Amino acid sequence: MKETGSKKIKSIVQVLAQSQNGQEIDEVVFRREEYDVDGRQVMVEQCDVDGQRIEKNEYFYKNGFLVREISTSENKSVEIEYSYQNNLLVVQVEKLSAEDYLETSYSYNAKEELIGSVEKDGTGKVYSREVIKGDALKTTIDLYFEEELYETDIFHYDERGNEIRQINIKYAPDEEILEAQEVKTETFREYDSQDREISLKVERSEKIVYQSQTRFDSNGNLILVEYMDAEDDFDTRIERTYNLESQVTQEKIFQNNELMQTSIFSYNLNGDKVKIAISQKTESDAMFRYEYRYSYTYF
């Protein structure tokens, strides 16, 4: 999150408060975020519903670039270092332990366009590599695992650079996909005159498995999302309303035309979100209510 009003955010604390029969029964710190004066995130800490830390991520910058991040969970810590040349990322090293790491090298053409990457383990053995080729209207990415072609992605773009079609082919040379040695998934996208995505359709083996449609108001606010998941056999509709500042004030989620969740949003004078009050229908048809509350410090 970057500066949203007249003040620059330094930190955000998100609290989860649960209620029962109109009475608050629990309140725990659910998430903490910290930012530098340039609006870059430097720390995020995620907790579970009991307030126990699940993961902490720290980010370090130099000369405007992310150069290191540290991710710490309950039983492990992973450090990633980034190296740049001519403002391009050339090497990424993921340190899994004192001796174990993965190093990814990136290569570019004369136009500074990414054309490939190679991932090696600590012994120098090539684990995976990507080969990227194409132009402004079509790009093909071949992914190899241990030198066997595993997956191909083909992206098609319109004249404005919007992705309109993606073809994904998994070859499964390691027989990971048991029902077929080759699975083809196609994704189709449509856009309005403002280059906003208004339609998405996903087909697998020539059958529609997912599709969605979105609608915007005259101010460009997303007011309606409708999607169908054929694999899980349910339809979902999301409706949103906004205030005069184009901040979302209410969101309703319907599944198979039944209202399942209502969220009410509140903001402070700086325009930052301070509360989301949520009413959610449970399997027993009871309404479970909880709130996310946000507090800020500013530079």
Is residue 298 a contact partner of residue 9, using CB atoms and an 8 Å limit?
A: yes
Candidates 5, 2, 53; CA nearest to 30 is 53
Is residue 116 a contact partner of residue 126, using CB atoms and an 8 Å limit?
A: no
Candidates 51, 47, 26, 55; CA nearest to 291 is 26
The residue type at 167: I
- Which residues on neighbouring strands pair with residue 69, listed in sequence order? 59, 80
Chain centroid offset of residue 100 CA: 27
Please state, in angstroms and rounded to a whole number, the distance separating the CA atoms of residues 104 and 117. Answer: 7
What's the pLDDT score for residue 2?
45
- Which residues on neighbouring strands pair with residue 95, listed in sequence order? 79, 101
Local structure of 206: helix, strand or coil:
coil
Each residue's pLDDT, cut to its tens digit, for the chain (299 residues) gives 444 456 899 999 999 998 766 666 688 999 999 999 999 999 999 999 888 999 999 999 999 999 999 999 988 899 999 999 999 999 999 998 878 899 999 999 999 999 999 999 988 999 999 999 999 999 999 999 988 899 999 999 999 999 999 999 998 655 555 555 678 999 999 999 999 999 999 999 889 999 999 999 999 999 999 999 987 778 999 999 999 999 999 999 999 999 999 999 999 999 999 999 999 987 777 778 899 999 999 99
Candidates 133, 138, 92; CA nearest to 114 is 133
What's the pLDDT score for residue 1?
42
Cα distances (Å, whole numbers) of residue 233 to 142, 147, 184, 211, 228: 32, 38, 21, 12, 8
Task: Check: pTM over 0.75? Answer yes or no.
Answer: yes
Candidates 39, 1, 32; CA nearest to 295 is 32
**Phi, psi of 283, rounded to the nearest 5 degrees:** -65, -25
What's the pLDDT score for residue 114?
97
How many CB atoms neighbour CB 254 within 10 A?
A: 15
Cα distances (Å, whole numbers) of residue 148 to 122, 129, 182: 20, 10, 14
What's the pLDDT score for residue 3?
46
The residue type at 285: D
What's the pLDDT score for residue 98?
76
Which residues does 143 contact at the CB level (< 8 Å), separation at least 6? 128, 129, 130, 149, 150, 151, 152, 153
Please state, in angstroms and rounded to a whole number, the distance separating the CA atoms of residues 112 and 122. Answer: 28
